[in-house]
Structures are given as structure tokens and as C-alpha cells.
Amino acid sequence: MTDVVALAAELLAIHSPSGGEGPAIDFVSRYLLGRGWNVHVQEVSPGRGNVWASRDGGGVTLSTHLDTVPPYIPPRLDGDKLYGRGACDAKGIAAAMLAAADRLVEQGEERVDLLFVVGEEKGSDGARAANHLPATSRFLINGEPTESILASGCKGSMRVTVRTQGREAHSAYPHLGQSAIEPMLRLLPTVHALPLPTDPVLGETTVNIGTIRGGTEANIVPGRCEAELMFRLVSDPAPLRAALETWAAGTATLEWGSYIPAQHFHTVPGFDAHPVSYTSDIPLLGRWGTPLLFGPGSIHVAHTDLEHVAVAELRDSVDTYVSLVRTLLTA
């Protein structure tokens, strides 16, 4: 039987930030080849690629990502918790999926695929590429830290850059210039007064003013300013985009960035479910079957210095993945 904690610790010991996933891809490929899987590495960019492992196909795919955010934090087992970068997002999940697949095969079930992608933390180029593979599965169980509860849906996301234009001048003669920062400071707080959409399952649309940049020196009237906003969406973005255009009119220009739609997921009787506020690769993996989202660990500690997963939860998640696959195969 696969020791999921030891396997997770091995994965955590591999530094694999977005763009540098090669060593983790090599480790997982060797692991699967050594257990008789048909392994295909799909190059996404030089030195890095997605790992797709299959046997009979046509059933359920277990999938998560192998990249992590910086900085690297080495693994350590402290009491009942496994710490390290990727412990819950998402190398611990990858280890649980590998262990679950091992158990299913040992029990004679080979209608399970594994898909490990790169780049989820930075643009999802791996998932975009993986959606061109000839997938045959009917269901996709994607892994993100859902606190071991099926996600009934997840919010989408939309980025927008807000820009104001001024005119530079020497700060001793401010009347000769026009500040780009001052109108931005007046505009940004009012975004919270916009009527943002709601959804009975996913809840409220939220907005975060993530960055603001402007000016060059304290003795120069600033000629340019920009802010980046991130909306967590629960519905069609078109009405919100129209409201933002009206909101910015006459003061700022808008540049639309990345967009991922909100999703409602397949749930399974007998398994608790609740919505989550973050996004995943699921909208980019439409060819891989009806989606579910499940994984051990909490998003609230992901990306932090104290990222961890409880050992008992990690072990229990292997049982849950096996149970979910078997339930879906009878659907």
C-alpha cells in the first residue's frame, strides 16, 4: 500500500515553481512508469510539460497541478501536520491521487486516468494545452484544497487595469501639471458602491484593489497612474463590465485582463458539498468530462509560510478519491 505521507514529502522536497516544474514532472513520470502506467508527457514549453497516465480509459480522470508559488519551503512533519510549499496546493493532493490510483489498480479497476498539469498558478498554460489531448474520461475530479468537501461550484475571476492620465510638471509649480494619482484616489473607493451580482449558490461578487502604481518622484507631478482590480465573479460578466465602463467614464480608461467564468459542479449523493470562492483549471479542461472539485487541506493556508495539510486528512482523502471514482463509474 502506498504511504501517501511519505510520497507527499518526496514531492514537497522538489522545488517546482510555475515555469520550473521539470523535476516534479520527471519524478511523477518515473513513478507511474515504474507501476506499469501508459505515460505521455505533453510538452507545454521547453523543459516542462503535462503528465497524462492511463490504462483502460473511458472512466474517471484524477487531476491537479504540480507547480507551486514561491518561495520554496522544504517539507517537515510536525506532529499531526505536514508542512511545506505545496502541502495543500497541490502536491499533497497529487500524492493522494497517486495513492488512490494505485489502490484502484490493485483492486482490479483500471478505468482511471491521471493528469498532472503545469502552470496553474500563473496563467494555466498547462490546462490550456491539456484540453487538446484526446481525453476519453466521462468525469474529471480536479484537486484543490476544499477542506475535503466536494465543491458545489466556484467563483470565476476577472482582472481589469484602471489607468488615469495626467501631465507632468515640477512640483514647485503644480499648477503647470495635472496629477494622475489624485483622480485615481477619488475613483477607486467608489467601486465598492457598485451593485455587484449575487448567486444563490456562489454568493456575492467581490472586488479586490490589488495594486496601484503612479508617479516617478516626489518632486514631480505624476503624469500616469494605474491600478489592478480582481473581481471574483458569480455570473455572466457582461453587466459588470458595462457598469465599470460607466463608472470609469470621463476619469479613467479600462484594460480587460484574464477572465475565468464561474462554475457549478457535479455533486454526488452521500458526499457533503459547498461552494468555494477561488478559481481552478476546470473551465479550461472541458474535454475531460463532467467536473468535480475535491481535495484535502484549506485554501486559507495555501501560499503562506505555514502551508500544511493534516496527516489524517491527507490519508482519509485517499479513501475518498477511491470512493468517488467507484461511485462515478457506476453512474
Beta strands in 8-124 (DSSP E): 38-45, 48-54, 60-65, 76-78, 81-83, 112-117
- Which of helix, strand or coil describes residue 232? strand
286 backbone dihedrals φ, ψ, rounded to 5°: -60, -25
Q: Closest Cα to residue 285, out of 150, 147, 141, 158?
A: 141
Return d(Cα 285, Cα 268) in angstroms, integer: 20
Is residue 198 a contact partner of residue 234, using CB atoms and an 8 Å limit? yes
Beta bridge partners of 45: 48
Residue 71, C-alpha cell as written in the block: 518561495
Closest alpha carbon to 282 in 274, 273, 291: 291
Query: Looking up cell 482582472, which residue turns up?
Result: 159
Alpha-carbon distance of 36 to 39, in angstroms, equals 9
| C-alpha distance from residue 162 to each of 117, 176, 231, 245, 284 (Å) | 32, 24, 13, 10, 27
**Residue numbers annotated as active site:** 120
Q: What are 315's three cell numbers?
A: 490519508
C-alpha cell at 125: 498554460
